Structure 1
Amino acid sequence: MADTSNPSFPPQAEDKYPVFLRNGQQVRVNDHVYCSPSWTVRDGTPYSVARIMEFLRPEGKTGAEGESFHYTRVRLAWYYRPSDVSDRPVNDSRLLLAAIYSEVCDINQIRAKCHVVHRDKISDLAGWKKRPDRFYFNRLFDPYIKKEFEVIPSIDIRNIPEDVRNTLICRYEYVVAEKEVIPDLTDSIRLCQSCDEWCPSPDSVQCDRCKNYFHMRCVQPPLLAKPSRGYGWTCAPCSRRHEEEVDSREVRHNTPGSRPPHLKSNAPAPRGRGRPRKDRNQAEKEENMTVKHFKMWPFRYFGQYTVAEDTLDPEDLIFCRAATRVGPKYQPTYPDYGSVHQGPDEERGEDKTIEVLSALHDFTSAEFDEGILIP
């Protein structure tokens, strides 16, 4: 299906000007293909897997498309193999890593079609891998910050404001985030007990007794920082209730050997390893499943360093982000040497502002008179 959000690609243009490969297969936008450049420019990899983002006219061609129009270039969104970005051994040859990275290539480098589906869309993984030209992915690799991220369906995110969640579900099929923030994103929406507004994880704190969430600015007195690792925090009503229990001697401590209560985890349940089902119709539905794309991309970053309200802006960047490196921890501070010698009416670079730190040879007046030169 063509991406109508991109003005450079007319809707259904590939139907008016169909593109066929050398083996007779017709390719469309969002089809997954094998890409293999010529041996003179190849780095030794036999082929790469990519997704067609758009077909491009010949370089330098302008004006309206005619009946004799032929596509010569194509924009491809690349997939990586785990062995390409890491030294750890991976025995699964069908596992890929998605990426928010694209390149414009010659259309003759496309060899054949294949199928790449997210892991959660596959009901029978063993049967999927037995079929030829089938791949799957569940993680994303960012080639700029050299880090891997988890990829989950956007419909699984619940702990965000309702308008932001609806925007993500409407535009993108998947969401990219760090592994450690996935349980927080997939948890039920967290509202502050004081102001009844959404509590983002960096600006909220959880009571250790009632398990309710509060903004750090909403508690009295306001919290300047979260408790240190290994320490808990309790709200004022729970603290008062605990003091009353201690005063009335009704507190009961756990006896030695008693097990603490089992805490419910927000992590997804492990997938079962049952006998694979041989359902060919189901497999065909999975490989032809419609995937939402916004500006030619099916996913965007929504992790630890994302401002939720920025997602509403259609021009917001979708790329993965890391911690900022601005501040005295990363930038050195140099003393201002010019301020020591520079006066109010002096400019840097004049003779008065130059300080001679060393001299290889000082000529005397007699040497100048004799015209002695040092080679």
Structure 2
Amino acid sequence: MIQIQRILAAKAALCVLLISTWAGCIVPPADIAPQVLPRAELQVISLVRRGKDYSASGRADLAEGEFREALALRPQNESIYNDLGYVLQAQGRSDEAEAVYRAGLALAPNNAVLRANLARTLYRQGQLGPAIKEFHALLDITLDTETEELSRQYGEEFTPEEFVGIYRDLAMAYYLLGINDEAACYSTLAFLMGANIYEAGRHARLLFSLNRVTIALHILRDVVVARNAAVPAKILLDYGIALYLTDDYTLAKAALGRVLQQSEASRVDRRTARLVLLGIAVDSAGGWTALETKDAEGGAEETSAPASELSKEIRSLYSGLREEDPRFCERVQLDSDHYWPIALSDALDELREKLCDEANESLLTI
């Protein structure tokens, strides 16, 4: 009985302590007045929130009205300039977006987000020189600003990944201006800092377009070896093309064959893979002249066994190509990727003309 009384007494004391603690936590001291935001500030917050909701739902036109009203109430708020510029750009009103970004930067010249959006707006407008100038200013700001402040400006944790986008944009701007060494330099920085398969692919394609195929091949080979079976079809296609351009037909055929086996490969990528495989087969047969000579001398049945197998391979690939794209021969030219070396585009266009020439039908029909 005594033990039970002791337990009840302890519980009662604990309840008193808990009630005292709760009271001290929830009852504010008498000398602290309630903190309430001014009505105008609450209105700005509400306008910006609605604007962001409209923007997220694809209604940039409605978002614009909310942001303009918020900006009229708080013209010194740099982030609202960024929001307004973004929805103007989304409506294709680049000139107005540029003006808004510049107005925001006049208030906050070290705002990295405003500077980045201005640079990309100029880039989309084709103002490559001014865009490059702004990208370099953005790099300086980003390097000189504390990470905490950058995170505040971006509205999320700032990471070194942001540099990858800046370097990649600079690479493309320099490339479009024909300043190839600078383009390759910044593309390399993006590739090294990004250190992922996507940046490897982008870097390789830029090197392709600069006709630096051997370097592109080394980069793509490292990706393929490291990833093995988990290589995207696009990377495999680029790898196969690089091998083809460096005359490594055996490995090129293996890589391009893997592209055709991947269900995720796009129709264009599959068509390109078949076309390059046809180019390899024709080259291995000694070119179109050799094929035409053998056909004129009596057809594949009377040629050597290797030549006969090549003819069958060419016919099979061509049949698959036409099944994949029945309108292949109706095209004025191939919709080749912009990063292909000119020599490759020319070679594949010439091959297409041969494939679609009715005079070569006997060589291609199974």
| TM-score, normalization by structure 1 | 0.21
User: Which is richer in strand?
Assistant: 1
Query: Hey, which of these two has a bigger chunk of helix by percent?
Result: 2
